[in-house]
Amino acid sequence: MKKYKTTKLFFTLGFLLLFISCESNEEDLKTRVRVRDFTKAELINLHGESDKSWKLTEIILPERFIDHPASINNACVADDTYTFSHPTWELYESIEEVKIELGDTRCFETYSEAESFEGKLLYKPYNLNGVDVFRVEFFLNECSIANNVPVGTTTRCDESRYRLVELTADRMVFSNATFIGDQTFGYVFEKI
């Protein structure tokens, strides 16, 4: 009988601890801000009604990838310029090219002779509770190009795709976050 009471006591304590931790998680969820999509008026901050140029100021990566030679990093993109254009179709899904001007600092210089970057924005309009909004996704294709003897020229490309999660007139973030500030991968841009 004593063993039964002890076991019952442990299960009760375990259940109470589980209940308390769930309550704490619910409070955290209430204070966190969920990522949302943007209206046409808000997207003016992104493209400035025609074209707007930005600097890629931060690459968001897990710690283990930060100094990897195959990963782009903050130092190599600091002198690059990204120009985002107004979408050509405002009521329909559209893909817009992002003009990228690479600076002098290369990202893959330790193992390649050249590199290329291509960017695109995908605008997906939809109606949310009577308001027209756009889900915006940024695609970045980064390639390293090496001349490997005797094989010849080899190109290695990686493509990332992140949703627009934060946007002001001076800053925007594309990331994999569900809640603001919760990203593990992404890009932070600042207005030039």
In sequence order, what are the beta bridge partners of 171? 190
Average pLDDT over residues 45-61: 95
Secondary structure, 3-state, 82-133: EEEECCCCCCCCEEEEEEEECCCCCCCCCCCCEEEEEEEEEEEEEEECCEEE
Q: Is the model's pLDDT at 187 over the cut of 90?
A: yes
Whole-number Å distance between alpha carbons of 70 and 141: 13
Whole-number Å distance between alpha carbons of 176 and 101: 25
Q: Is the model's pLDDT at 140 over the cut of 60?
A: yes
pLDDT at position 123 is 94
Average pLDDT over residues 104-117: 91
Domain ranges of the chain: 1-31, 38-191
Contacts of 119 (CB under 8 A, 6+ apart): 82, 97, 98, 100, 138, 139, 140, 141
pTM score: 0.80
pLDDT at position 110 is 85
pLDDT tens-digit readout, 58-107 = 999 999 888 888 889 999 999 999 999 988 877 788 999 999 999 999 99
Average pLDDT, the chain: 87
